[in-house]
Amino acid sequence: MNHAQLTALGRALRVLGEHGEALSADTPDARLHEVKDDLRRALDLLEESVTTAAPSTRCAEHPTGPVDKSAPDLCLLCETRRRTARRAEFNGPAPQPRPTEPAPSRYGVRGDRPQPQQRWLPELWNGQAWQLCGTPRRDRREAELYVAAQLRGPRAALAYRVVHEFTDYEVLRVWGTPVRVDIEPMGHP
């Protein structure tokens, strides 16, 4: 609601308040029609100034969020948060991952991968171990082109390498220098 709308609506409501104070049992019909017109004018101003949907919940954080009829504020999102907190009181907190583990990757770490096949694997150095950074390739040139593209990217790793996988692993080429990075800041265990 802008300032002009706010001013006009306030003026219309004040006029309605004056009408309300002047009402009595012997108010003529002409005066009641005037009140009716002023009331319509105030409703029209209010309709113009309201730009959002009517709130579906009584929640200040999620006024138009999904509704849960059993929640005191009708907000499904807040009620889900409250239920989770109540469940944690009985079951204990959710298990947290150990901070010493390397960051999870959708490709996994070398020890997690299946038996070798004839492939070329693009890997990046994540600060702790070599980690697969793309899908394994059937062609060495294609794998090297992929690594070259990763090096030009905005979030390039410290080092990359291409590994030939057949019956054993053989490092073919390394880009950059892998430096072991402590997980904890400032070197504290």
The per-residue pLDDT for 160 is 93
| Rounded CA separation 4/122 (Å) | 63
Among residues 48, 38, 50, 33, which one has the least CA distance to residue 14?
A: 38
φ, ψ of residue 30 to 5 degrees: the values are -60, -40
How do the domains of the chain map onto residue ranges?
3-51, 55-94, 117-167
| Rounded CA separation 3/166 (Å) | 74
The per-residue pLDDT for 147 is 93
**Measured distance between the N- and C-terminal CA atoms of the chain, rounded to whole angstroms:** 55
The per-residue pLDDT for 15 is 87
The per-residue pLDDT for 8 is 86
Q: Radius of gyration (Cα) for the chain, nearest Å?
A: 34
The per-residue pLDDT for 142 is 92
Among residues 128, 134, 126, which one has the least CA distance to residue 163?
A: 134
Q: Are 42 and 19 in contact (CB under 8 A)?
A: no
Tokens of 76: 């499904």
The per-residue pLDDT for 19 is 83
pLDDT tens, N- to C-terminus, the chain (189 residues)? 788 888 888 888 888 888 888 888 888 888 888 889 989 988 888 888 887 778 888 888 888 889 999 888 899 999 988 888 888 777 777 666 666 666 666 766 666 655 556 788 899 998 888 999 888 888 899 999 999 999 999 988 889 999 887 766 677 788 888 888 777 766 555
